[in-house]
């Protein structure tokens, strides 16, 4: 019988399987097509009313027992490779002491606290820089205010215009 499997990307795989095929046999055909291991494949079967995920313990179940018929439409999802390797470790006799979730959590937690420290230090540095810039601006403003109070204006070259004007005035008087 032919079945249509839709991958999450929207791609369709139409494949032929026997009437007595198992879920595992269908997954093996699909795995060869998508070039992924069978352990990463997740099948969702059924009509809109009764869609359900086919669990791994159902791999030996016949498709017809799951009400898969000619041209049945299924959906295919993929497990993340890290998830598959963690499941394999657990199934090969990893005890409760070897809980990989614990390791991942503590690793993630330590990375998070390191990032927070780094980000906190960066924020402190930014605050210090902005305070220094603000102090520099304040000093500049004070200097300019003092000069204005004294009747002086500084141009970009640092030459006081008032002095230049008076010097020019002195030169005019001499001629």
pLDDT in tens, 7-44: 988 999 999 999 999 999 999 999 999 999 999 999 99
User: Bridge-partner residues for 66, per DSSP?
Assistant: none
What is the average pLDDT score of the chain? 76
* pLDDT at residue 140 greater than cutoff 60: yes
CA distances in angstroms from 175 to 59, 103, 160, 162, listed in the order given = 111, 92, 24, 21
Which one, of 151, 147, 156, 148, lies nearest residue 166 by Cα? 151
pLDDT of residue 12: 95
pTM of the model: 0.51
pLDDT of residue 90: 82
* pLDDT at residue 55 greater than cutoff 60: yes
pLDDT tens digit string along 67-107? 999 999 999 999 998 888 888 878 776 544 444 444 444 44
Q: How far apart are the first and last CA of the chain?
A: 115
CB proximity list for 5: less than 8 A, separation 6 or greater = 12, 13, 14, 15, 30, 43, 74, 75, 76
The half-sphere exposure of 39 on its side-chain side, counting CA atoms within 13 A, is: 10
* pLDDT at residue 166 greater than cutoff 60: no
Q: Which helix (H) or strand (E) holds 52?
A: strand 52-53
CB-based contact 60:33 (threshold 8 Å): no
CB-based contact 44:58 (threshold 8 Å): no
* pLDDT at residue 143 greater than cutoff 60: yes
């Amino acid at each position: 019988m032919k079945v249509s499997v839709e991958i999450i990307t929207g791609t369709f795989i139409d494949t032929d399987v026997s009437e007595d095929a198992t879920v595992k046999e269908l997954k093996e055909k699909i795995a060869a097509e998508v070039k992924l291991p069978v352990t990463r494949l997740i099948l969702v079967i059924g009509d809109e009313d009764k869609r359900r995920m086919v669990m791994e313990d159902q791999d030996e179940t016949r498709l017809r027992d799951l009400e898969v018929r000619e041209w049945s439409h299924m959906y295919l999802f993929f497990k993340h490779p890290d998830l598959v390797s963690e499941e394999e470790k657990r199934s090969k006799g990893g005890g409760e002491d070897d809980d990989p979730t614990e390791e991942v959590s503590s690793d993630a937690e330590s990375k998070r606290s390191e990032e927070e420290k780094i980000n906190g230090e960066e924020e402190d540095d930014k605050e210090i820089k902005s305070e220094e810039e603000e102090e520099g601006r304040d000093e500049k403003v004070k200097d300019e205010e003092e000069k204005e109070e004294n009747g002086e204006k500084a141009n970009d070259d640092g030459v006081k215009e008032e002095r230049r004007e008076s010097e020019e005035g002195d030169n005019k008087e001499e001629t």
